[in-house]
């Protein structure tokens, strides 16, 4: 259940959101925001809220991947270990500190999100011939040509629909609370 709310508890104060009882700290969120905006951390409230919605969608997908056990996969674990070793050997990043932790976590979660998206969206859209045809027939008015002529566009739109449906299910399955007060504070910085 996706809920925007103002919460006043002290444990919530330094967090921009809580997803299924797991806090998303303001520092983690702003690190990710700044990284994806060429080092620029200044933003207005609406920009931060928009990015937070994307970030929450990302976190929901990662949560789903973990529930599916994708983080227990030996190939995944080896890939993360290899990355962590490379990260430790890199001269600019030390083995301690928040940047290291955020970078490693971003990598772990990014791989999980990729793996779960591959299973739930990309492969399904490529392999589900009946679903593609049904989607095309329901949305024929959006395409001026036959399915064979616009197949790539139809598959891309079908993938988008699969992702929207998946995210709606995740938002109904997991609780999400956004701390608007904290987000407003970050917008003023």
Q: What are the angstrom distances between the C-alpha of 152 and each of 101, 113, 129, 145, 149? A: 39, 23, 13, 12, 8
Q: What is the CATH number of the domain that holds 148?
A: 1.10.4030
d(CA 7, CA 184): 13
Phi, psi of 15 (to 5 degrees): -115, 145
* Tens digit of pLDDT at every position of the chain (189 positions): 444 444 444 445 689 999 999 999 999 999 999 999 888 878 899 999 999 999 999 999 999 999 999 999 999 999 999 998 888 877 555 545 777 788 899 999 999 999 999 999 999 998 999 999 999 999 999 999 999 999 999 999 999 999 999 999 999 999 999 999 999 999 965
Domain residues for the domain of 154 are: 2-188
The total number of structural domains in the chain stands at 1
DSSP string, 57-77: HHHHHHHHHHHTTGGG-HHHH
Q: Give pTM, 2 decimals.
A: 0.85
Closest of 35, 22, 86 to residue 95, by C-alpha: 86
């Amino acid at each position: 259940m996706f809920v925007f709310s103002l919460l006043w508890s002290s444990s919530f104060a330094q967090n921009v959101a809580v997803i299924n009882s797991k806090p998303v700290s303001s520092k983690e969120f702003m690190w990710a925001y700044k990284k994806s905006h060429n080092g620029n951390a200044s933003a207005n409230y609406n920009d931060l809220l928009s990015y937070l919605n994307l970030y929450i969608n990302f976190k929901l997908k990662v949560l789903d991947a973990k529930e599916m056990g994708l983080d227990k996969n030996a190939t995944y674990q080896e890939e993360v270990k290899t990355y962590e070793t490379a990260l430790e050997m890199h001269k600019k990043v030390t083995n301690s500190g928040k940047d290291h932790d955020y970078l490693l976590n971003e990598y772990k979660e990014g791989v999980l999100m990729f793996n779960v998206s591959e299973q739930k969206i990309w492969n399904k859209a490529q392999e589900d011939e009946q679903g593609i045809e049904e989607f095309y027939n329901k949305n024929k008015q959006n395409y001026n040509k036959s399915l064979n002529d616009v197949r790539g566009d139809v598959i891309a739109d079908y993938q988008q629909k699969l992702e929207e449906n998946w995210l709606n299910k995740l938002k109904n399955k997991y609780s999400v609370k956004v701390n608007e007060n904290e987000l407003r504070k970050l917008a003023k910085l």
